[in-house]
Chains A and B, each alone.
Chain A
């Protein structure tokens, strides 16, 4: 059974009262959810709280899960709401903290190349952090969570064409911020 279909079946069982099956869904998806939130918020502890909140919400609102509804899309819909509510509660407390992301480990032998790449990735992280959250979310879903555009359309409740246009705008905005930062650094 493909994993996605197996997830759907597991969630149906949770909805019908077999709550222990949520443990399997936790083991399969909690890391991806953690990375999703970490990319959106830049804060590890907050991201873990949000993962916890997502599973709690999925338990609490399990009766809203419908047969045939892809579990992954439903989970990310719940995750978006958890993030929106969590960010609203924390408004003004702490903005995106991109410095909390880890430095990449490079296998490049040339030290100058490693340095240049680190600088570029550092700028890209800053650019991503500076992007409005709705644009950052699109790039996180499509590039980091590796979701297909039709899945993202399900999550955002819009059509696939709209998702593609928004992805274009998001990557363009990111690119502009990145090259501006790189220009500032060079000048």
Chain B
């Protein structure tokens, strides 16, 4: 291997992509050429230090605003496409003879009348329903994505965003219930309890929160849950409230609130 050939192989050498034969040829050259050996060693050192910068780079995270900015842009772009969709067969309209114009005028009048009486047509309703579905899907994606983030402030944004999804959305409901039961941050759990009020009529909510009540280690969340349970008139929670009221380890304020809850539901 010549000195020029060594230079051609340095990139592979640094990336650890040399074949066994190439590595052996390079070693043989280094045994005879101190200049190439020295240069390669210096470049390897710089390459390794770049690796340390790479690990530093991994800690660099974009701000919390980037994600919502993207989703809002995506949603806006999709809306823009929907509203800019061209009307079909427009080009041929001007090729019609007078009969065509007459028919079109008649249809226009007829259509206006029908529109007046019937409101939006079936196709309009279908288009609107499709658009609503897409918007809902996008909001669901944003909510679920934010609720899975490592940063508590982003999960709080997710809880806040959940108010924009339909109350029949079982995936978002499940994510909120999961947040109430398992989120390590008290503020997120409290916000999730509030957000569940939107889903109050859903049977999945009733019968779940009384279990959550017993599991909670934060008195603040327990107080919020008792309020919610009483508002729901959830009598299935009576045993859990009784257990809380009698427990010697539970916070005094929670015990008093549980007693109040029992008096309200019994």
Chain A residues at the B interface, C-beta cutoff of 8 Å: 19-20, 22-23, 26-27, 30-31, 34-35, 38-39, 44, 47-48, 51-52, 55-56, 59, 101-105, 117, 120-121, 124-125, 128, 139, 142-144, 148-149, 161, 163-165, 167-168, 171-172, 174-175, 178-179
Contact = CB atoms under 8 A, between A and B. Distances in A.
Nearest to B14: A171
Interface stretch (B28-36, B57-65, B157-165, B169-177): B57-65
Contact of B62 (A22, A48, A124): A48
B54 A51 contact: no
Nearest to A37: B62
For A20, A117, A179, which residue has the most chain B Cβ atoms within 10 angstroms? A20
A46 to B, nearest CB: 12
Main secondary structure of the interface of B (DSSP, over half): helix
Contacts of A48: 62-63, 65-66, 69
A1 B65 CA distance: 31
Given A52-B70, A56-B73, A121-B52, A20 B8 contact: no
A149 B15 contact: yes
A32 to B, nearest CB: 10
Given A101-B56, A172-B43, A20 B12 contact: no
Contacts, number: 137
A31 B60 CA distance: 9
Contacts of B247: none
A163 B15 CA distance: 13
A55 B54 CA distance: 24
| Overall SS of chain A's interface | helix
Interface residues of B, number: 46
Contact of B53 (A26, A125, A172, A175): A125
B53 to A, nearest CB: 6
A31 B151 CA distance: 15
Nearest to B47: A171
A144 B50 CA distance: 8
B74 interface: yes
13 contacts: A20-B141, A48-B66, A51-B62, A51-B70, A52-B66, A102-B56, A104-B56, A142-B15, A144-B53, A148-B15, A149-B12, A168-B11, A175-B45
A23 B49 contact: no
Contacts of A105: 59
Given A35-B57, A161-B8, A164-B12, A175 B62 contact: no
